[in-house]
Amino acid sequence: MFYKPSRIIFAFAFSFRFISVQAQSQQPDSAVIRHIFREALTQGKSYENLRYLCTQIGPRLSGSAGAAQAVTYTKKLMESYGFDRVYLQEVMVPHWVRGEKEKAQIQSTKGRQMVPICALGGAVGTGKKGIKAQVVEVRSFEELRQLGRVKVQGKVVFFNRPMNPAYIETFMAYRDAVDQRGSGAIEAAKLGAVGAIVRSMNLALDDFPHTGTTRYEDGITKIPAAAISTNGAELLSRQLKADPNLAFYFKMNPETLPDALSHNVIGEIKGSEHPEEIIVVGGHLDSWDLAQGAHDDGTGCMQAIEVLRLLKALNIKPKRTIRAVMYMNEENGLRGGRKYAEVALTNKENHIAALESDAGGFTPRGFSIDATPNKIAEVARWKALLAPYGLNNIGAGGGGADIGPLKNDKIALIGFRPDSQRYFEVHHAASDTFDRVNQRELELGGAAMAALVYLIDKYGL
């Protein structure tokens, strides 16, 4: 029979891919990992799956119609890949809605100027008329307390401590600044403030306000709390210096509704030798409502699904059970992660490792591990296998919010760590859209996670 050259090449390539990986137990690990990366970079599905999630479904705040659509989509997606089991896990989640678009205005001797703000998640509203008051600017809770009630009562507290640009790892800068967003409304209300305005958690100067959860405490008045864009924060700070008596007006009308029924979405490939030992890989399916939730955390969800798809496509039959979990409600409650851990405890499941991707879909740099020193050392011994793919930073560190409730002395909690330099430009902001995701970076991340899962599955922890 005569074969066209293109058919011969295709048949050879397919046979090589199948046979070589089918015999992966007889191959060096480096060869198997090379196959994983080749498959991801030439046949990867994460990017197109993310395109649908972002552009056809979009924002997915817990309790919303978008979140429900994302549950349906990811369940059908995993079913289409033929995973051994795909199922839903019920979880009740908070249902907070933003309401009409927020408005804010600086009113000074120089005139009136609109600035971009957004309500912080869980915040109460200002009422239909809004709030107008003088402003006090602070950079820390200690500075606020030193002002005292006399200087704060009846005013809007403006928390204006920037993320520290001196950190190489931007999540460290986030950690050192985010207390303003989380507890600013509480601390301001203790001194009689009528509102809290918080500088966005963003190292760049732009016009996008970044939302995120704020908290309240029983017995302390709940006051409206909003984020202001970094450009807006700079402008307000300058104008306060020129006119300390200026007024700030803002209006927002969010609402907290009764808890809603939602789901974690779970897909798994059953282990062939030790099915009772479970390796979890996941991301959170919910997102904030301002944008498409591309980097936070659509990329992590699609990478988690891709880990299982890569193993299946390459005919790598895991010894242990591999699960992909799309957690619901990481952003404003962590109920999905807690529910998963609760069910795992009830069912006496044996999780040996959990890997979370929730730091964006940027270029892979490594993994941080929350585990006993011995387990950290076991993962670190694979550095030589992973380093050719840019995965040089492997060592002790945080695992992730959704896998945190699984923590015990037997499991390794592992955080996927991509390059962090651009993440906070889009984190919790309207700029977190599909067009900000690079296809190769995303697919490389899925391959990096799959490579680590392959090693953990083969050798255990």
Which DSSP helix (H) or strand (E) runs through 32?
helix 29-43
441 is catalytic: no
* Beta carbons of 409 and 372 less than 8 angstroms apart: yes
Contact status, residue 21 vs residue 32, Cβ threshold 8 Å: yes
Q: How many angstroms separate the CA atoms of 362 and 342, rounded?
A: 32
Sheet holding 350-356, edge to edge: 85-97, 255-269, 320-327, 274-284, 350-356, 412-418, 364-370, 393-396
Instruction: Please state whether 55 falls in left (phi above 0), alpha (psi between -120 and 50) or beta.
Output: alpha
Query: Which DSSP string do the residues of 249-309 spell out, in sequence order?
Result: EEE---EEEEEEEEEEEEEEE--SSEEEEEEEEEEE----TTS--IIIIIHHHHHHHHHHH
Sheet holding 225-228, edge to edge: 111-114, 103-108, 247-251, 131-138, 156-159, 195-199, 225-228, 117-119
Q: Residue 131 — φ and ψ, nearest 5°? A: -125, 135
What string of H, E and C letters represents the secondary structure of 215-259? CCCCCCCCCCEEEECHHHHHHHHHHHHHCCCCEEEEECCCEEEEE
**Helices 65-80 & 299-313 angle (0-180, nearest 10):** 10
Q: Do 424 and 163 touch, CB atoms closer than 8 A?
A: yes
Is the separation of the CB atoms in 368 and 326 below 8 Å?
A: no
Q: Is the peptide bond before 297 cis (omega within 30 degrees of 0)?
A: yes
Of the candidates 137, 277, 330, 378, the residue annotated as catalytic is 330
Active site residues: 330
